[in-house]
Structure 1
Amino acid sequence: MHLIPEAFAQSTAGREGDAGRAWLDRLPGIVEELLGRWRCVRDGSVVHGQVGVVVPVRRAGGAPAVLKVSFPHPGNVHEPDAFAVWAGRGAVRLLERDDARFAMLLERAGTGSLAEVPDADEAMAAAGRLARRLAVPAPPGLPRLCERAGVWEAELRADAARGTLPDAVFDAALATVRELVPDQPDTLVHGDLHAANVLRGEREPWLAIDPKGFVGDPAYDAFTLLRSRAADLLTAPDLDAALLRRLAVFAEAAELDRERTVRWTQLRCVQAALWGRDHGDPEWLVGMYDHVAGLLTP
């Protein structure tokens, strides 16, 4: 079985350079060692995300699972911590972990995701209910969103000087950073709750994968969900009405304050628009961020 998909190897080497190529050389040995230690056998084709490979396996006794091994990346450090806290509540179960190798043995979920649900409101409601289940007290030691307030304000001020967005849009984003970001609950936040990171399950309708494991406001994840359904949002007969409705559906299902959800989404749209301009995002996507940021500005 070919272990490392070619597209994953190319993207990892291109992004990480020599360190990525060295890790790719070690990866087959890491996988084989973990399979032996955790008494698993391969059970399907290897798939991958941006920073890791996922190997379908069977455990001793035949139970299905997946072995996930990621490139040592700061964004993945607290993934197993989040899974451990949830203990299967709204997320796949963590079965084994090897933090030094950025590796986990996880419950195998289904193959369908929220990205395949045709009705956007249904998908947003399901994501909101899941976000509510994942909103539990956070353990110590996880990165806190409130700690980013100073950095975010400095970045916004620097970008405002470039004049890429109207002053009112920047002012609203800065107000959110000053007023909401420093004052957040001690709640575990997924941090990357997009539609493809919510898979169909058997013991629960939907199960989350690939968390970042932040501490803060669950409203932070509303933007990620909107972005992951951006293409069908643009085909809506009335984009503005569809956007506002989706945010309202998510906030109600997640039991979040609607105004707070809107303000977080406006801030993150401003950040995404600025990042996208500097890093080559498609023009249509940057334009959508601009539009949404303006729409959500009071």
Structure 2
Amino acid sequence: MNNSSKDKTETTYNNLGSTSSIIPHIQVIPAKQEAENWIWSYIQKKTCCCQVLVEKDSAKYQCEWFCQKKTSTTSIADYLRMKHRIIEGKEDIETEIVSKQDNNFFLYPYKRKQITNCLLAWLIDNMQVFHIVNNSKFQELFYEAVSQYSVPCKNSLYKKMSEAKEKKSDLVNEFWKKVILVQKWKIKTISERSALVEELTTTTVRSTLQQDNHEHLVRENVTRWLGYTNDGCSLQNKRSRMTHQEDSAEEGITQKDLLNSVIEASNIFRKVEFPSYYDKLKTI
């Protein structure tokens, strides 16, 4: 049984090996290759150097610009478009509205706007009539200078001028609104400060009056203490009267009374002793 199974296996392998109809039915599908980007026609892949020839001093030189390998193809395409005016068909949205004067000149939208603004400024500054833009010779002049630029009509310029005036008017109104707001703020600040100054002044006046009243009361008290009365009696008269009373009292004092008063004073204060004065007092 083993020999028979071995013979069958060899026969099967031989049949498969001898069959040539299996190979032709296998189709090899090649991998899809990405389309070559158009920028590599102007940029060398290995060195990433620009190969565009630039004309300078009646001679042509290779552009010295180079980029890093990690630079995106979009950035390279922008460089070629802005520096060398090289584009690929109409891939860029901006290039769809760009017209050609020759193979190396393009008029971009922002340039159109600048030319229109300059034209409008020239008309206003020189007080030119607006219908001059509709003159065929005037349009021919612009066409010879910049064939891609079409002179706007009179109505378009009127509209543009009206928009500019409106913006200017809005700007002026906004300016005056801010000026009025600042003036109101100044008036409010001055009013608040005036009220504060008035309050401080009132407080100062009140304190001054109170101080004056206090000084007046003190002056009256001192005057009364010094002997001023409402009957017009002066201090000098008061003193003369007191002196006369003292003289009258001295006339009635005897030697013995004077000695006793000195001794009494010495006993009270215990600070002054009068032994040397006793004899003198006795002789008075």
TM range, normalised to the smaller chain?
Answer: under 0.3
**Which one has a bigger Cα radius of gyration?**
2
Instruction: Flag the structure with higher helix content.
Output: 2
Q: Which fold has the larger relative contact order, with Cα–Cα distance below 8 Å and residues 6 or more apart in sequence?
A: 1
Instruction: Flag the structure with higher strand content.
Output: 1
**TM-score, normalization by structure 1:** 0.19
**TM-score, normalization by structure 2:** 0.20
